[in-house]
Structure 1
Amino acid sequence: MTIEAFERTLELAVLLREEMERRLAADGLTPARAQVLRELGGRGPLQQRELAATLEVSARNITGLVDGLAATGFVTREPHPDDRRATLVTLTARGTAAVRAMADGRAEAAAALFAGLAPQRLAAYTADLDVLLGNLRKA
């Protein structure tokens, strides 16, 4: 029974990832670029080094991500108001709309995924997931 649950969990993870990538691709985004946008949406303008540290990627990686987002109109690089040597990565109107659309998309996907599941079963499922996540974090 354990292996069956594990296999279904893997299948769910794959299907969720594919759905997320499909939705992001429709907006011209990758998962990595979307992560940058979500971070900026939650925290506001940040320096690239702050983004790199938060997302645990290299400076070179974040430069490529920000370059791509800037070229497609999701972010701009603005002068830092207190440090003229620094720049801030800032969401544009398109970037802000994309962050909002991603949040709406997550809510829609969650509603579709859990449709028909009684509130008590959803609560139990969430509690079980907390146990599973705890097990993985300890490993």
Structure 2
Amino acid sequence: MVTDKHYAALDQVLELAVLINDDMTRSLAQDGLTVSRTHLLWELRRRGPVTQRDLADALKVSARTVTGLVDGLEATGFVSRQPHPTDRRATLVTFTERGVRTVEEMERGQQEFARLLFGEMTQERLDCFSGALDEILTRLRAASQTYDPRGGDQ
């Protein structure tokens, strides 16, 4: 049974999502980035120099979409394309110095944001909050795997 408290909690989650999205969009725009381009930078940071095909797979987008993202990031000086050392047909996407500096600044920003959100929270409350989020994310991930955008469930 869904109660008023359930709806109030959902309202809080939705407000949190909007606030975080607005903050992130504003912050990224200062560096000339979008959420999609930043997602690519995070994957590149995690994987190291990588092919566009591998980036497309990691981002779950088409090769054409990744080409557009890499083109934009290359034009603004965040990444470069380099020849693959063992496959003449492939190129590797790598960070430029600007890209490395930007991702390192974003990591510092995340640390500051985490401190702002959770720094004064007791360990017990943080554990409880984190556990509740794990439950919610598990449900959402399971639901998204069975959702068919064409109508109905799979």
TM-score of Structure 1 vs Structure 2, range by shorter chain? over 0.9
Cα distance in 1, alignment partners of residues 70 and 140 from structure 2: 31
Q: What letter matches 1:19 in structure 2?
A: D
Question: Is residue 102 of structure 1 aligned with residue 106 of structure 2?
Answer: yes
State the match for 1:3 in structure 2.
Answer: 7
Q: What is the number of residues matched between the two proteins?
A: 139
Q: Which residue of 1 aligns with 2:135?
A: 131
**Stretches of structure 2 lacking an aligned partner (at least 5 in a row):** 144-154
The letter for the 2-side match of 1:95 is: G
For residues 102 and 73 of structure 1, the distance between their equivalents in structure 2, rounded to whole angstroms, comes to 16
State whether structure 2 residue 72 is matched by structure 1 residue 61: no
Greater RCO (Cα-Cα under 8 Å, separation 6 or more): 1
Supply the distance in 1 between the matched residues of 2:141 and 2:70 (Cα, whole angstroms): 30
User: Any stretches of 5+ residues in structure 1 without a counterpart?
Assistant: none
1:90 to 91, 94, 114: 94
State the alpha-carbon separation in 1 of the partners of residues 140 and 90 from structure 2. 39
Superposition map of 1:37-52 within 5 A: 37-52=41-56
Hey, what's the Cα distance between the residues in 2 that align with 1:102 and 1:28? 13
Question: Considering only CA atoms, is the larger Rg found in Structure 1 or Structure 2?
Answer: 2
Compute the displacement of 1:138 (Å).
2.4
Q: Secondary structure at the match of 1:83?
A: coil
TM-score by length of 2: 0.86
> Over aligned residues, Cα RMSD in angstroms?
1.0
Please state how far the C-alpha of 1:134 moved relative to its aligned partner.
1.5
Query: How far is 1:97 from its partner?
Result: 0.9
Which deviates the most, 62-71 or 96-105? Answer: 96-105
Q: Percent identity?
A: 53
Deviations 1:29-56 (A, max 9, x none): 1111111111111111111111111101
